[in-house]
Amino acid sequence: MKKATLTKDEKNRLVALRKLDIIDTQPEKQYDEIAELASYICETPIGLISILDNDKQWMKACVGVENCEAENNFTFCQYAIKHEGNLFEVNDARTDERFRNKAFTFGDDPVVFYAGVPLRNKEGLTLGSLCVIDHEARSLTEKQRKSLLYLANQVINLFEIRIKNNTLRESQKLLKEKNTQLKNFAGVVSHDMKMPLANMIVTIDIIKAKYSKHFDESGLNYINNLKQSAFKLSDYISNILTHYESDSITEENALEEFDLNELLEDIVEMLDINEDCEINLPKKNLQIESNRVALEQIFLNLIGNSIKYNDKEKIKIDIGCSFDDFYYHFYVKDNGIGIPENKQNEVFNLFTTITEADRKGNKGNGIGLSTVKKIIHNLGGHIELESKLGDYTKFKFQVERP
């Protein structure tokens, strides 16, 4: 068989083929079904989705044959992909001057009939063909030709989806690498800053203890403000570390069974609450099987916020829990300052603060609730809130049961 020139713009065609990244991939059901349907509709023993590289023909789908690769100089598809029309049809290769002097076989039988639709991408570059083959001379009916064209369009659609998925995977890979770099950078910087900050706080205390009598009231205020700023920065760094380490919290800590109220009592003790505060634990205590460390971080943040962002003389916090076959359902409700309705969709955004200051006049850093949402997502759940300004805030969340 005489070797044909594949396309006028072979370089761009091969670039598009590399972008498709389909040669030598595993069989896929969608392609196999199209090739089988083409064979069935056209009543031929062989149906193929053929991809042409610069030196070989490779079949993404094969029906009726086992050999999925051939050299380009011995393929009908090389003619099909340069064909300017929508369908390249050879009724009897034995009488066609282009093929009659060359024997081409699939298995033990010669290729006599061939019909192939060029698979052109949106740039008009032909990457391969959808073809049917018979060992006897024949012609397709008009309905069969039309059906073959429709099936070829579906192959092209699959190609476009594959390219989009390849691009998305590359973008996801790049984003993951950038995110890992950012996490590592945040971790290193945060850890490196904590020790100097601790030294700064200790040094401020020493200065106050030894030299406070040498300062006037303004000087002492400066010292106190410096210490407060150092504590605030330390808290900010700790929250950043918690946020970027939240993935490892859910990945590295295995499920365990524990007493929910015992966990909540430990959290209340950790918070070291000095305000007039009433915390009502779930009336029905439950044995939970979940990630204890992750739930501790969630409740520590939510209960802490209920205390910090509360303007009532007596703080009241209600905590509830229930479960069904798939999830544990929790809520934390307080009688605090509430969240404006037009701000409720923003509270889980990283570095977003809704209120000017907390109960003690300190401004938040907008990290805690973003971390909570991230942890809950990693536990297979979601979080939402109800709130009325000046009255209450209720966070409801769920996590998957094992």
pLDDT per residue, tens digit, the chain (402 aa), is 444 454 457 888 888 888 899 988 898 999 999 999 999 999 999 999 999 888 778 889 989 887 666 654 446 877 888 888 899 999 998 888 877 666 665 656 788 899 999 999 998 899 999 999 999 999 999 999 999 999 999 999 999 999 999 888 888 888 888 777 766 766 666 667 777 777 888 888 888 888 888 888 888 888 888 887 777 777 767 766 666 666 667 766 678 999 999 999 999 998 888 889 999 999 888 899 999 988 998 999 999 999 989 999 999 999 999 999 999 999 999 999 999 888 888 888 877 777 777 787 777 777 888 889 989 998 999 999 999 999 999 999 999 998
CA distance 140 to 123: 29
Which string of b and e fits 207-223 if b means at least 16 CB within 10 Å? eeeeeeeeeeeeeeeeb
Q: Whose CA is closest to 64, among 83, 86, 42?
A: 42
Q: In this predicted structure, what is the pLDDT of residue 210?
A: 87
Contact partners, residue 315, CB within 8 Å, separation at least 6: 275, 276, 277, 278, 306, 307, 334, 335, 336
Q: Whose CA is closest to 311, among 367, 235, 389?
A: 389
Q: In this predicted structure, what is the pLDDT of residue 68?
A: 67
- Report whether 90 contacts 113 (CB < 8 A): yes
Report H helices in 352-395.
368-378
Q: In this predicted structure, what is the pLDDT of residue 88?
A: 93
Q: In this predicted structure, what is the pLDDT of residue 105?
A: 59
Domains, in order of start, for the chain: 10-169 (3.30.450.40), 250-400 (3.30.565.10)
Find the Cα–Cα–Cα–Cα dihedral 94, 95, 100, 106, rounded to 10°: -30
The burial class, CB within 10 Å (0-12 / 13-18 / 19+), for 177 is exposed
- Report whether 86 contacts 124 (CB < 8 A): no
Amino acid at 298: I
Q: Report the half-sphere exposure of 400 (CA within 13 A, side-chain side).
A: 9
